Structure 1
Amino acid sequence: MHRSRETLTRVAGLLYGGDYNPEQWPEEVWAEDAALMREAGVTMVTVGVFSWARLQPGPDAWDFGWLDRLMDLLHGHGIAVDLATATASPPAWLVRARPEILPVTADGVRLEFGSRQHYCPSSPAYREAAVRLARAIAERYEGHPALALWHIHNEYGDHVTECFCEVSAADFRRWLRDRYGDVGALNAAWGTDFWSQRYGAWEEIEPPRTAPGPVNPTQTLDWRRFCSDALLACHMAEKAVLDEVSPGVPVTTNFMSMFKPLDYWEWAAHEDLVSDDAYPDPADPEAHVTAAMNYDLMRSLKGGRPWLLLEQAASAVSWRPVNVPKRPGLQRLWSLQTVAHGADGVMYFQWRASRAGAEKYHSALLPHGGTASRGWAETVRFGRELARLAEVAGSRTAADTAIVLDWDSWWALEQDDHPSLRLDLKELTSAWYAALWRNGAAVDFVPPDADLEPYRLVLAPNLYLLRNATAESLTRYVAGGGHLVCGFFSGIVDENDHIHLGGYPAPLRDALGIVVDEFWPIPDGESVEVATLGHATLWSEWLDTTTAETFAPYASGPLAGRPAVTRNAHGAGTAWYVSCHLPGALDAVLGAALDAAGVRPVHDVPPGVEATRRGPYLFLLNHGDGHATVRGLDGADLLTGAAVRGELRLAPLGAAVVRTAEPAAAEPGTPHHDRRSS
Structure 2
Amino acid sequence: MSNVSGDRFWFGGDYNPEQWPAHVWDEDVKLMGRAGVTVATVGVFSWSRLQPAPDTFDFAWLDDVLGRLAGAGIGIDLATATASPPPWLVAAHPEMAPVTADGVVLGNTSRQHYSPHSPVYREHALALVRALAERYGQHPGLVAWHVNNEYACHVPRCYGPDAEAAFRVWLRAKYSTVEALNAAWGTAFWSQRYSDFEEIMPPRTAPTASNPTQLIDFDRFTSDAFLDLFRAEAEIVRAASPGIPVTTNFMGAFRPLDYWKWAREVDFVSDDSYPDPVDPQAPAAAALTRDLMRSLGNGKPWVLMEQATSAVNWRPANAPKAPGQNRAYSLQAVARGADGIMYFQWRQSAAGAEKFHSGMLPHAGPDSRVFREVCALGAELADLSRLRGTEVSARIGIVFDWDSWWALEQESTPTRLDYLSLVQDWYRAFWARDAVVDFLPADGPFDGYDLVVVPALHVADEAALTALAAVPERGGRLAVGFMTGVLDRDLRVPAEGYLGSLAGVLGVRVEEFAPVAPAPGGPAPVLRLSGALGELTAGTWAEFTHAVDAEVRASFDDGVVRSWPAVTRRGTGSGDAWYVATRLDAPSMDRLVGVLLDGVGAQAPTAEPNEQVEVVRRGDTVFVINHSAEEQSVTVHGHGRRTLAPHGTEVLPG
State whether TM-score is above 0.5. Answer: yes
Shift of 1:8: 6.9
User: Which of the residues 605, 608, 615 maps onto 1:611?
Assistant: 615
- Select which of 41, 45, 48 maps to 2:43: 48
Question: What is the CA–CA distance in structure 1 between the aligned matches of 2:212 and 2:632, rounded to whole Å?
Answer: 51
From 600, 605, 612, the equivalent of 2:603 is: 600
Q: Is the 8 Å Cα contact of residues 500 and 507 (structure 1) preserved in structure 2? A: no
Distance 1:570 1:216 in 2: 39
The whole-number CA distance in structure 1 between the counterparts of 2:289 and 2:422 is 14
Q: Report the alpha carbon displacement of residue 603 of structure 1 after superposing the two structures with TM.
A: 3.1
The one of 560, 563, 585 equivalent to 1:561 is: 563
For residue 19 of structure 2, what is the amino acid of its counterpart?
A: Q
User: Residue 583 of structure 2: SS of its match in structure 1?
Assistant: coil
Instruction: In structure 2, give the amino acid aligned to 1:492.
Output: V
Aligned partners of 1:295 and 1:341 also within 8 Å: yes
Decide whether aligned partners of structure 1 residues 617 and 376 sit closer, same or farther in structure 2, where only a CA change above 3 A counts: same
Task: Report if the CA contact (8 A) 1:8-1:307 is conserved.
Answer: no
Cα distance in 2 between the residues matched to 1:404 and 1:196: 36
CA distance 1:398–1:9, change in 2 (3 Å): farther
- 1:632, CA displacement in angstroms? 5.6
Alpha-carbon separation, structure 1, partners of 2:641 and 2:382: 25
Q: Give the C-alpha shift of residue 247 in structure 1.
A: 1.1
Structure-2 residue corresponding to 1:185: 180
Name the structure 1 match of 2:500.
506
Offset of 1:477 from its aligned partner?
1.7
Deviation at 1:620, TM superposition (A): 1.6
User: Which of these residues, 132, 136, 141, is aligned with residue 141 of structure 1?
Assistant: 136
Q: Secondary structure at the match of 2:598?
A: helix
1:14 lines up with 2:32 in the alignment: no
Distance 1:318 1:632, change over 3 A: closer
The 1-side partners of 2:3 and 2:293 are apart by: 14
Change (3 A) 1:9 1:176: farther
**1:236-274 deviation digits (Å, cap 9, x = unpaired):** 100000111111111000000000000000000000000
Task: Give the secondary-structure state (helix, strand or coil) at the position aligned to 1:184.
Answer: helix
Matched residue, 2:627 = 623
Q: Matches of 1:538 and 1:565 in 2, distance apart? A: 15
- Give the Cα separation in 2 of the matches to 1:340 and 1:357: 35
Matched with 2:521 is: none
Farther off after superposition, 250-259 or 576-585 = 576-585
Report the Cα offset of residue 633 of structure 1.
5.2
Q: Which residue of 1 aligns with 2:393?
A: 398
Q: Does 1:424 align with 2:418?
A: yes
Give the number of aligned pairs.
Answer: 644
**Code of the aligned partner of 1:526:** P
What is the percent sequence identity of the aligned residues? 50
Residue 69 of structure 2 aligns to a residue whose secondary structure is helix
Query: Could you tell me how far 1:646 is from its partner in structure 2?
Result: 4.9
The residue number in structure 1 matching 2:509 is 515
For residues 191 and 345 of structure 1, the distance between their equivalents in structure 2, rounded to whole angstroms, comes to: 47
Instruction: State the match for 2:439 in structure 1.
Output: 445
> What's the CA shift for 1:383?
1.2
- Name which of 546, 552, 570 aligns with 1:550: 552
For 1:540 and 1:133, the matched residues in 2 are separated by: 55
Match for residue 30 of structure 2 among 17, 30, 35: 35
In structure 1, the gaps of 5 or more residues are 1-5, 635-644, 661-678
Whether 1:411 aligns to 2:413 is no
Provide TM-score, normalisation by structure 1.
Answer: 0.93
Q: 1:85 aligns with which of 65, 70, 80?
A: 80
> Alignment partner of 1:437: what SS?
helix
Supply the distance in 2 between the matched residues of 1:529 and 1:213 (Cα, whole angstroms): 36
User: Displacement, 1:9?
Assistant: 6.9
Query: CA–CA distance in 2 between the matches of 1:258 and 1:9?
Result: 31
What is the Cα deviation at residue 535 of structure 1?
A: 2.1
In 1, Cα distance between the equivalents of 2:72 and 2:66?
10
Aligned twin of 1:526: 525
Corresponding position of 1:63: 58
State how 1:202-221 maps to structure 2 within 5 Å. Answer: 202-221=197-216
Of 257, 262, 269 in structure 2, the residue corresponding to residue 262 of structure 1 is 257
Where do residues 25-424 of structure 1 align in structure 2 (5 Å cutoff)? 25-421=20-416, 423-424=417-418
The one-character-per-residue Cα deviations of 1:359-401 (angstroms, maximum 9, x if unpaired) are 1110111110111221111111211111111111101011110
CA distance in 1, matches of 2:645, 2:212: 52
Q: CA deviation at 1:626?
A: 4.0
Q: Are positions 1:586 and 2:593 aligned together?
A: no
Check whether the contact 2:526–2:538 (CA below 8 A) recurs between aligned residues.
Answer: yes
Deviations 1:137-193 (A, max 9, x none): 111111212211100000001011211112111111110111111111100000000
Cα distance change, pair 271–533 in 1 and its aligned pair in 2 (3 A) = farther
Distance 2:80 2:159 in 1: 26
Cα distance, 1:355–1:445 mapped onto 2, change above 3 Å: same
On the 8 A contact 1:14/1:346 being kept in 2, the answer is yes
Decide whether the 8 Å contact of 1:13 with 1:392 is kept in 2.
no
Say yes or no: does 1:655 pair with 2:654: no
Change in CA separation of 1:459 and 1:518 when aligned onto 2, cut-off 3 Å: same
SS in 2 for 1:604: strand
TM-score between both structures, scaled by the size of structure 2: 0.96
Q: Is the 8 A contact 1:619 1:656 kept in 2?
A: yes
Q: Is the 8 A contact 1:554 1:560 kept in 2?
A: yes
| Structure 2 letter corresponding to 1:337 | Q
> Secondary structure of the residue that 1:290 maps to in structure 2?
helix
**Distance in 2 between residues matched to 1:146 and 1:392, nearest whole Å:** 23
Q: Give me the CA root mean square deviation.
A: 1.4
Pick aligned residue for 2:452 from 458, 462, 471? 458
Deviation at 1:630, TM superposition (A): 4.6
- Judged with a 3 Å threshold, the aligned counterparts in structure 2 of structure 1 residues 312 and 465 are, in CA distance, closer, same or farther, namely same
Deviation at 1:534, TM superposition (A): 2.9
1:326-379 alpha-carbon deviations (Å, 9 max, x no partner): 011111111110100000010101111111111111011111011122111111
Report the 3-state secondary structure (helix = DSSP H, G, I; strand = E; otherwise coil) of the residue aligned with 1:553: strand
CA–CA distance in structure 1, aligned partners of residues 628 and 609 of structure 2: 10
Aligned to 2:595, the other structure's residue is in SS state: helix
Matched to 1:43, the amino acid is: T
**Amino acid aligned to 2:546:** D
Question: Aligned letter for 1:45?
Answer: A
- Structure 1: which amino acid aligns with 2:526? S
C-alpha distance after superposition, 1:625-655 (max 9, x if no partner): 4444454655xxxxxxxxxx65543333222
Q: Which has the larger displacement, 501-510 or 268-277?
A: 501-510
SS in 2 for 1:506: coil
| Partner Cα distance (1:373, 1:10) in 2 | 27
- 1:12 is displaced (CA, Å) by 2.1
